[in-house]
Amino acid sequence: MSGNSFGKSFVVTTFGESHGPAIGGIVDGCPPGIAIEPEFIQRDLDRRAPGKSRHTTQRREPDRIQLLSGVFDGLTTGTPIGLLIQNEDQRSHDYQTLADRFRPGHADYTYTMKYGRRDPRGGGRSSARETAIRVAAGAIAKLVLTHTHGIRIRGYLSQLGPLKPQSHDWNEVECNPFFCGDAALVPKLEQFMDQLRKSGDSIGAEVTVIAEYVPPGLGEPVFDRLDADIAHALMSINAVKGIEIGAGFAAIKQKGSEHRDEMTPTGFLTNNAGGILGGISTGQNIIARIALKPTSSLRLPGRTVDVHGQATEVITTGRHDPCVGIRATPIAEAMLALVLADHLLRQRGQNADVIPPLAALPGGTVTN
Amino acid sequence: MSGNSFGKSFVVTTFGESHGPAIGGIVDGCPPGIAIEPEFIQRDLDRRAPGKSRHTTQRREPDRIQLLSGVFDGLTTGTPIGLLIQNEDQRSHDYQTLADRFRPGHADYTYTMKYGRRDPRGGGRSSARETAIRVAAGAIAKLVLTHTHGIRIRGYLSQLGPLKPQSHDWNEVECNPFFCGDAALVPKLEQFMDQLRKSGDSIGAEVTVIAEYVPPGLGEPVFDRLDADIAHALMSINAVKGIEIGAGFAAIKQKGSEHRDEMTPTGFLTNNAGGILGGISTGQNIIARIALKPTSSLRLPGRTVDVHGQATEVITTGRHDPCVGIRATPIAEAMLALVLADHLLRQRGQNADVIPPLAALPGGTVTN
Amino acid sequence: MSGNSFGKSFVVTTFGESHGPAIGGIVDGCPPGIAIEPEFIQRDLDRRAPGKSRHTTQRREPDRIQLLSGVFDGLTTGTPIGLLIQNEDQRSHDYQTLADRFRPGHADYTYTMKYGRRDPRGGGRSSARETAIRVAAGAIAKLVLTHTHGIRIRGYLSQLGPLKPQSHDWNEVECNPFFCGDAALVPKLEQFMDQLRKSGDSIGAEVTVIAEYVPPGLGEPVFDRLDADIAHALMSINAVKGIEIGAGFAAIKQKGSEHRDEMTPTGFLTNNAGGILGGISTGQNIIARIALKPTSSLRLPGRTVDVHGQATEVITTGRHDPCVGIRATPIAEAMLALVLADHLLRQRGQNADVIPPLAALPGGTVTN
Amino acid sequence: MSGNSFGKSFVVTTFGESHGPAIGGIVDGCPPGIAIEPEFIQRDLDRRAPGKSRHTTQRREPDRIQLLSGVFDGLTTGTPIGLLIQNEDQRSHDYQTLADRFRPGHADYTYTMKYGRRDPRGGGRSSARETAIRVAAGAIAKLVLTHTHGIRIRGYLSQLGPLKPQSHDWNEVECNPFFCGDAALVPKLEQFMDQLRKSGDSIGAEVTVIAEYVPPGLGEPVFDRLDADIAHALMSINAVKGIEIGAGFAAIKQKGSEHRDEMTPTGFLTNNAGGILGGISTGQNIIARIALKPTSSLRLPGRTVDVHGQATEVITTGRHDPCVGIRATPIAEAMLALVLADHLLRQRGQNADVIPPLAALPGGTVTN
């Protein structure tokens, strides 16, 4: 009940704090016979890893993933996959002064109210460190999706503070530390971040994730709609404050004649639905966007209270990401992959005998 | 696995189609000793019911709720509460012409792809009719929240197409068919809807829901964050395409020094967090907003394909809501109530012995 | 969390007390396209129904099942199936004198300790009445098992007090009110029961259930072993105090060379395993036995305490089964069917692509 | 869905094979503030460990438990507890000859049928090695039960083949390698086991586990009865073929006037119920017994088939327990502890406000 598992058929459970000896997790429900390439998992971990550029936290974590079980001769066996990453860079002394006061905008206060106590070292379970295991599990989910149905999942930074890409080239996304698809924006992003870092402040961001080649029919009609589970998954990422599918909040001002995606024998004409109708995939690209808040760990002093309820101030001096959105792309991809792998297995279980009555329509134009 | 249950401790499961003999559900996990006033449940059902004004579907459903079990002498017994609503107005002939073609923007296509077949009468399980049971179960959740902790949940229409309230008075919300808190906007809404109805088109909307007097400490740190579960719950409502907590998408452009909610001995100074930090309630008001798409059931012809994949057109002639957002307020309240009741019981289970180490801070200013 | 649901993929949830207006349930996860014959479900309900002979309680319940949703044109749609049975014979006055004292061996005391209050009418949720919905849901599970894999589930009374069948003929089982396969034993059972009823006492019994034509590979290796889930299911039936699979308690004295079921190209030579090895079905018959205690509702006075903790006596004067084991056969069949349907869908979900590397061995001799 | 988790509120998930680098698990839902003594956990692991006497497998596993998270300053934090045990003695070559044929009575065959492939090294996931993590998690559950309610859980060997203890002294149980409470029986057990080992055969056994000082009110009325969950838990242990609660199978021949446990102001007079009525704890001792089959890994040749379906023979030459029941006592204790910790938290969640209406009756005489 304390909510450290995600999924019903393809289930990941995680444990670990940023300043303990290790973090880890278990993937339960992975089908047998899936080829697991450890370097594929490691690549996604490296994409998420901090310390790769001056724009992310300088905490250095090699994040070497160990697969402890569930794989034999390079293929999954159908039994649970144990995941482990040793913590190597644990400078917990950075945090000692924070133990007696609450950082505004941080989980210090709520953890204390919930548990009556908390692990003050590095935020404990609220640290973004926990997402490393999600990325590893999500990489396994990606392998399942690719090897069984050719589904591809990828994402990019679609806004950072006031800066928005004016173009999108997938080839650019992995060529800069921002996951930005507009090469022309990259120097502006660097300049913006340099200035921000100097000021001791932080900034919000938006990330877009897309799943391509998804078969129609994934998702359940009522509570476990595909979009509802995606919303759950993405909102569970640290710092996310909003989530949109397809047209999202723009749908408020749309008329039905504009919003509905008309269908022709050669495919949908638009994709305002973001690939999901009635909670079930249409076969079009699934498109989701998340809004990430600016991190609350600032070098600028903030008003707060201490554990005795007395007014005080707080400054965060540790190593932190001035924009958590920068590293969020692989995490959002992982969560989307986990949802799709889960629903793929659920659909196989309940409707394995279903033969689609007509060829699935080709997906429509991607509308970001 | 087919996802007709919601919650882990306070669990609601629903069944029923719009054109079967009845819809119903089961609330499992309601604590014993809660006073159940059937008229309270009925009142929320009446708030959701269609046909109350010319701006909603003219389908008339008295929606008389029956409580079949789990209540003895006016108090819950702790055993499951069976809920039943007879369907009375079942003009399924309205839908017969839709059986062989797919309405664009509707779940017809995805249901067929998922199950290999579908119930063409009124959209079957994808019909908004299903939400009546959610509202009944949510009313029970509201009673649990109120009687045990004095928590109050309420909502309002915060946008309809281009029209936004310029003021907010809770007393106005229940005085018009739109759940609008700005009395001055009501005539404009009526005019807008009249014009829309004549044109045969539909429109999107935004609804805001708020939970007040929530104790701090509700929610779990990682996957089952309170905000993640709220996102799941609200995105599971028909037609919802986006969800925000607190500052939401506005957080993208915010700096950390602006976004973080500073704390003083007399309370938080702002509420950009929307009452949730690190996935756990802060004690401030919980504020969520949802974007609802315009319904896809239009009297304007749309291009589509039939079940043989041939191009055709479709017009929806049945009785439909031109703005599903109008009736969405009680549904969104119900889903928020279900999430909070669930997390309240979860917190009691895991941390029943916790004595908060300091008096909870008073909630900050509500910032919509 | 209050445990009124069973299964993970094929899920049944029940509600209702013996003296409320109705009992009911929801089957969620039934695959689409399964032919549902209401008379098949009704037949199992009739097999369970009381009042058919003088050897069971004289409470008369027609138990007319209503299917409220999830079935269209005689086939399941894949959406939840709502089940309802009206309660017609509610003589709750029979129980009024029991409200202030606890019947020894009955759930009166434990319900009061758990909930702080209880519904004294007919035992509330602890009444065997609740099993009617299990039987209806189990009948749907049987239809899934039969229509998809030809699996057959049936059971019989294998002991009543000191009386054990000396032979077994499946054709006899449905020809007497005891579900006894030994025609010669039936007169002795009738005599025994007549005498027992006169004495005001009750008696224990054993029921055996068997699943035939089960494909190998159902069940999960560790906690959700097929035998563990069967034990859970059968032990959840009122009055069950023991459960055996295959050799059961006789295995204590067996040597490994005797117990292990040797394999030949034409099949297993024995079935001490009861059709399950390592928690997974072997393809042999699955054989389970349950021990049912004598009911605690007696006309013989028993020492007890009242709600104030004072010593008193109690006599149960209502209509009760002197041997609950007599009507337990269809209930045990239903629970076994629910477990197998659940694991069938789970196996399809996780291992849908598995092609057995060799033809499954034919099942071995049934050893009861 | 692949069933490597147990519990709903206090949840343990395990991973690992006997011949991988490590086994491990996660305990999710442990309340905060529980004092965790690693040596207490280690003690239970040592009680289960093989190689302590000549009567168990000579595989030597130091089984050093590592607690990787969830504990700070000796107290649980309420976040998940990561458990890890390195595998040190991995002579997988012992098993190479078994890769192409199936051992009768073993999970080789069913794993192959389920997954289409299997890890032949040491039985993979079906190895009893997996139970080490259960024991570690169960020890944490014991600490929760003891520190919050003073509940004590312990067990003993109640039969080995034909040999039954004639007396029971708890002080003797930990003084011999059999967990036998009858000192006079120990030499006979040693003689029996020596002879058995020489013959290359194996033997079944019975283990009894008891929970003392359990508060009344734990367990849920219908599917998640306390006895049903105990049956699930105990039947999930390797080699278990039967489970009894209280009078168990003896109840078949009992009359109701004999079976029912009468109540007096000073307590129950008997305990045929085994501490559970209507699925809910009575406050008496909870008593469960399990039947364990003789292991199927024998040095005596057995008829079987190979992976091509051809007839062949098999001999198991590795290191195995000739009586798996000997080491089963700590495992059965662990599973009982997990069930009770789970239901304790569930009861707190749903019925935290319940004040028992009268002092719980004192527990009755333990009747084994």
The DSSP secondary-structure symbol of C112 reads H
The answer to whether B59 is annotated as binding is: no
Q: Is A262 on the interface with C (CB under 8 A)?
A: no
Q: Is residue A240 part of a domain?
A: yes
Could you tell me if B338 and B7 are in contact, meaning their C-beta atoms sit under 8 angstroms apart?
A: yes
Identify which of A122, D11, A102 has the alpha carbon closest to the alpha carbon of residue B280.
A102
Alpha helices, DSSP H, located in chain A: 38-48, 108-115, 131-149, 170-173, 186-199, 226-235, 256-259, 328-351
Does the reported pTM lie above 0.90?
A: yes
Q: How far apart are CA C246 and CA C274, in angstroms?
A: 3
Q: What angle do CA B259, B262, B264 make, to 5 degrees?
A: 165
User: Closest partner residue to A68 among D8, D24, D32, by Cβ?
Assistant: D24
Q: Is residue A357 part of a domain?
A: no
Which of A100-104, D214-218, D235-239, D316-320 reaches the highest mean pLDDT? D235-239
User: Closest partner residue to B117 among C14, C33, C125, by Cβ?
Assistant: C33
pLDDT of residue B358: 42
Structure tokens at D264: 């007096």
Q: Which residues of D are annotated as a binding site for FMN?
A: 125-127, 238-239, 278, 293-297, 319
Higher pLDDT, A352 or A2: A2
pLDDT-based confidence at residue B121 (cuts at 50, 70, 90): confident
Q: How far apart are CA B48 and CA B328, in angstroms?
A: 7
pLDDT of residue D63: 87
Sequence-ordered list of residues with C-beta below 8 angstroms from that of C347, at least 6 positions apart, any chain: C217, C218, D114
User: Closest partner residue to D251 among C196, C263, C293, by Cβ?
Assistant: C293
pLDDT of residue C344: 93
- CA B330 to chain A, closest CA, distance in angstroms equals 17
> What mean pLDDT value characterizes chain A?
89
Could you tell me if D201 and D293 are in contact, meaning their C-beta atoms sit under 8 angstroms apart?
A: no
Say yes or no to pLDDT of A347 above 60.
Answer: yes
Say yes or no to pLDDT of D361 above 60.
Answer: no
Cβ pair C79:B11 closer than 8 A: no
Size of interface A-D (CB pairs under 8 A): 164
Which chain D residues in 172-201 lie under 8 Å from chain A, judged by CB atoms?
Answer: none
Cβ pair A9:C79 closer than 8 A: no
User: Closest partner residue to B252 among A159, A224, A300, by Cβ?
Assistant: A159
> What mean pLDDT value characterizes chain D?
90
Q: What is the ipTM of this complex?
A: 0.95
Residue given tokens 């491990």 in the structure block: D24
Half-sphere exposure of B178 (CA within 13 A, CB side): 28
Q: Is residue A367 part of a domain?
A: no
Cβ pair A350:C33 closer than 8 A: no
Burial class (CB in 10 A: 0-12, 13-18, 19+), D153: buried
Q: Is residue A363 part of a domain?
A: no
**Helix, strand, coil percent values for chain D (each to nearest 5):** 30, 20, 45
Cβ pair C82:B15 closer than 8 A: yes
User: Among all residues of chain B, which has the CA nearest to that of A346?
Assistant: B1
Q: What residues of chain B lie within 8 A of the CB of C25, using their CB? A: 26
H or E stretch including C155? strand C152-160
Alpha helices, DSSP H, located in chain D: 38-48, 108-115, 131-149, 170-173, 186-199, 226-235, 256-259, 328-351
**What angle in degrees, to the nearest 10, is found between the helix axes of B226-235 and B328-351?**
150
User: Among all residues of chain D, which has the CA nearest to that of C133?
Assistant: D222
> What mean pLDDT value characterizes chain C?
89
SS3 D185: helix
Q: Is A354 on the interface with C (CB under 8 A)?
A: yes
Domain that includes residue B243, residue range: 5-351
Q: What residues of chain C lie within 8 A of the CB of D14, using their CB? A: 222
Say yes or no to pLDDT of D228 above 80.
Answer: yes
pLDDT of residue B95: 59
User: Closest partner residue to C28 among B2, B28, B77, by Cβ?
Assistant: B2
Mean pLDDT across the stretch B118-141? Answer: 87
User: Closest partner residue to A78 among D11, D75, D115, by Cβ?
Assistant: D115
The DSSP secondary-structure symbol of B51 reads S
pLDDT of residue A367: 39
What is the per-residue pLDDT across B28-76, written as a single tens digit (0 to 9) for each?
Answer: 999 999 999 899 999 999 999 877 788 877 666 778 999 999 999 999 9
Q: What residues of chain B lie within 8 A of the CB of A264, using their CB? A: 303, 305, 311
* DSSP structure string for A222-265: STT-HHHHHHHHHHTSTTEEEEEETTGGGGGT-BHHHHS--EET
Cα dihedral angle (B218, B223, B228, B229), rounded to 10 degrees?
-70
Identify which of A137, A154, A130, A152 has the alpha carbon closest to the alpha carbon of residue A29.
A137
User: Among all residues of chain A, which has the CA nearest to that of B114?
Assistant: A217
SS3 C88: coil
Percent of all residues in chain A with a pLDDT value above 70, rounded to a whole number: 91
Which of A303-317, C78-92, C274-288 reaches the highest mean pLDDT? C274-288
Say yes or no to pLDDT of B295 above 80.
Answer: yes
Cβ pair C29:A350 closer than 8 A: yes
User: Among all residues of chain D, which has the CA nearest to that of C251?
Assistant: D293
pLDDT of residue D320: 74
Half-sphere exposure of C68 (CA within 13 A, CB side): 27
What is the per-residue pLDDT across B210-255, written as a single tens digit (0 to 9) for each?
Answer: 999 999 999 999 999 999 999 999 999 999 999 999 999 999 999 9
- b/e per residue B228-264 (b: at least 16 CB within 10 A): bbbbbbbbbbbbbbbbbbbbbbbbbbbbbbbbbbbbb
- Find the length of chain A: 368
Q: Is B281 on the interface with A (CB under 8 A)?
A: yes
Q: What angle do CA D219, D255, C293 make, to 5 degrees?
A: 30
Q: How far apart are CA D3 and CA C219, in angstroms?
A: 9
Identify which of D336, D320, D326 has the alpha carbon closest to the alpha carbon of residue D129.
D320
Q: Is B26 on the interface with C (CB under 8 A)?
A: yes
Question: Which among D30, D350, D355 is the top mutation candidate for probing chain B, defined by the most B β-carbons within 10 Å of its own β-carbon?
Answer: D350
Size of interface A-B (CB pairs under 8 A): 432
pLDDT-based confidence at residue C264 (cuts at 50, 70, 90): very high
Q: How far apart are CA D41 and CA D71, in angstroms?
A: 14
pLDDT of residue A318: 66
What is the per-residue pLDDT across A14-64, written as a single tens digit (0 to 9) for each?
Answer: 999 988 899 999 999 999 999 998 999 999 999 998 777 888 776 667 789
pLDDT-based confidence at residue A192 (cuts at 50, 70, 90): very high
What is the per-residue pLDDT across D33-57, written as a single tens digit (0 to 9) for each?
Answer: 999 989 999 999 999 987 778 887 7
What is the per-residue pLDDT across D127-142, written as a single tens digit (0 to 9) for each?
Answer: 888 999 999 999 999 9
Cβ pair A32:D117 closer than 8 A: yes
pLDDT of residue A358: 42
Q: What residues of chain A lie within 8 A of the CB of D72, using their CB? A: 117, 119, 121, 124
Q: Is residue D368 part of a domain?
A: no
The residues facing C208 across adjacent strands are C156, C289
Question: Which among A5, A12, A14, A17 is the top mutation candidate for probing chain D, defined by the most D β-carbons within 10 Å of its own β-carbon?
Answer: A17
Mean pLDDT across the stretch A130-147? Answer: 96
SS3 A133: helix
Q: Is C31 on the interface with A (CB under 8 A)?
A: yes
- CA B39 to chain A, closest CA, distance in angstroms equals 26
Say yes or no to pLDDT of C352 above 70.
Answer: no
Please state the separation of Cα B290 from the chain's center in Å: 9
What is the per-residue pLDDT across B262-284, written as a single tens digit (0 to 9) for each?
Answer: 999 989 999 999 999 999 999 99
Cβ pair C20:B68 closer than 8 A: yes
Say yes or no to pLDDT of D91 above 80.
Answer: no
Identify which of C164, C123, C108, C179 has the alpha carbon closest to the alpha carbon of residue C325.
C179
Structure tokens at D298: 């024998």
Structure tokens at B7: 């919650």
pLDDT of residue C91: 57
pLDDT of residue C364: 43
Question: Which among D277, D297, D331, D343 is the top mutation candidate for probing chain C, defined by the most C β-carbons within 10 Å of its own β-carbon?
Answer: D277
Size of interface C-D (CB pairs under 8 A): 429
Say yes or no to pLDDT of C175 above 70.
Answer: yes
Residue given tokens 């793929």 in the structure block: A344
**What angle in degrees, to the nearest 10, is found between the helix axes of D108-115 and C328-351?**
60
Which of the other chains make 3 or more beta carbon contacts under 8 angstroms with chain A? B, C, D
The DSSP secondary-structure symbol of A216 reads T
What is the per-residue pLDDT across B143-166, written as a single tens digit (0 to 9) for each?
Answer: 999 998 899 999 999 999 999 999
Could you tell me if A216 and A360 are in contact, meaning their C-beta atoms sit under 8 angstroms apart?
A: yes
Rg of chain C over Cα atoms, rounded to whole angstroms, equals: 21
User: Among all residues of chain C, which has the CA nearest to that of B6?
Assistant: C1
- b/e per residue C327-336 (b: at least 16 CB within 10 A): bbbbbbbbbb
Q: Is residue A368 part of a domain?
A: no
User: Among all residues of chain B, which has the CA nearest to that of C78?
Assistant: B115
Mean pLDDT across the stretch C136-161? Answer: 96
Could you tell me if D271 and D287 are in contact, meaning their C-beta atoms sit under 8 angstroms apart?
A: yes
- b/e per residue D105-141 (b: at least 16 CB within 10 A): bbbbbbbbbbbbbbbbbbbbbbbbbbbbbbbbbbbbb
Structure tokens at C67: 């299917």
User: Closest partner residue to C264 among D220, D233, D311, by Cβ?
Assistant: D311
pLDDT of residue C116: 83
pLDDT of residue D352: 65
What is the per-residue pLDDT across C235-251, written as a single tens digit (0 to 9) for each?
Answer: 999 999 999 999 999 99
Q: Is residue A356 part of a domain?
A: no
Q: What is the CATH number of the domain that holds B124?
A: 3.60.150.10
Cβ pair C13:B26 closer than 8 A: yes
pLDDT of residue A95: 59
- b/e per residue B180-201 (b: at least 16 CB within 10 A): bbbeebbeebbebbeebeeeeb
Q: Is residue A262 part of a domain?
A: yes
User: Closest partner residue to D231 among C117, C232, C293, by Cβ?
Assistant: C232
Q: Is B14 on the interface with C (CB under 8 A)?
A: yes
Higher pLDDT, D363 or D17: D17
Count the Cβ atoms, other than its own, within 10 Å of residue A96.
10
- CA B91 to chain C, closest CA, distance in angstroms equals 16
Identify which of D38, D231, D52, D61 has the alpha carbon closest to the alpha carbon of residue D129.
D61
Q: What residues of chain B lie within 8 A of the CB of D225, using their CB? A: none
Could you tell me if D32 and A115 are in contact, meaning their C-beta atoms sit under 8 angstroms apart?
A: yes
H or E stretch including C263? strand C263-264
Which chain B residues in 63-102 lie under 8 Å from chain C, judged by CB atoms?
Answer: 66, 68-70, 72, 75, 77-82, 84
Q: How far apart are CA B30 and CA B67, in angstroms?
A: 13
Q: Where are the beta strands (DSSP E) in chain B?
A: 5-6, 11-15, 22-28, 65-67, 71-72, 75-76, 81-86, 152-160, 205-212, 240-245, 263-264, 267-268, 276-277, 280-281, 286-292, 302-305, 311-314
Which chain C residues in 106-145 lie under 8 Å from chain D, judged by CB atoms?
Answer: 106-107, 109-117, 125-126, 130
Which of the other chains make 3 or more beta carbon contacts under 8 angstroms with chain C? A, B, D
Q: How far apart are CA C208 and CA C292, in angstroms?
A: 11
- CA D68 to chain A, closest CA, distance in angstroms equals 6
The region, left, alpha or beta by phi > 0 then psi within -120 to 50, assigned to residue C112 is alpha
Counted domains in chain C: 1
Count the Cβ atoms, other than its own, within 10 Å of residue C254.
20
Sign of torsion over alpha carbons A48, A53, A59, A65: positive
What amino acid occupies position A161?
A: G
Count the Cβ atoms, other than its own, within 10 Å of residue D201.
18
pLDDT-based confidence at residue A125 (cuts at 50, 70, 90): confident
* DSSP structure string for C221-238: SSTT-HHHHHHHHHHTST
